[in-house]
Structure 1
Amino acid sequence: MKHLTIAIIAAISAATSVPTDAFAHGGGCRKASPPGQCCHMDNSTGRVHCH
């Protein structure tokens, strides 16, 4: 039972540690992005957004 619990915790940790921003959209970061942020164009709205 202890091994199953550890396996479940490991699976949840792995699933939640995947960076979703990488899958949300491509295009990379603009060179003028503020330090620590990644800004890119949202083609559906025509606006730049950062995260």
Structure 2
Amino acid sequence: MSVRILLALVFAASTLPGSVEAHGGGCRKSSPPGQCCHMDKKAGRVHCH
């Protein structure tokens, strides 16, 4: 595979919305208005979207 094609694939994958990666769990009650915060067990931290 050429380097250009590989770079194009990496770039395309990095620009996909974060919601493409499914994860379970609901929103924390302390989430800011309009956001859903929850624990990302893989990364070990809370993230919001």
Please, what TM-score do these two structures have when normalized by structure 2?
0.56
Alignment root-mean-square deviation, CA:
2.0
How many equivalent pairs are there? Answer: 32
Bigger Rg, structure 1 or 2: 1
Larger helix proportion of the pair: 1
Instruction: Find the aligned partners of 1:45 and 1:26 in 2 and give their Cα distance.
Output: 14
2:37 to 39, 42, 45: 39
Q: Identity over aligned residues, as a percent?
A: 77
Per the TM alignment, residue 47 of structure 1 is displaced from its structure 2 partner at its CA by: 0.4
Please, what TM-score do these two structures have when normalized by structure 1?
0.54
Structure 1 alignment gaps of length 5 or more: 1-19
Q: Which runs of 4+ in 1 moved over 3 A?
A: none
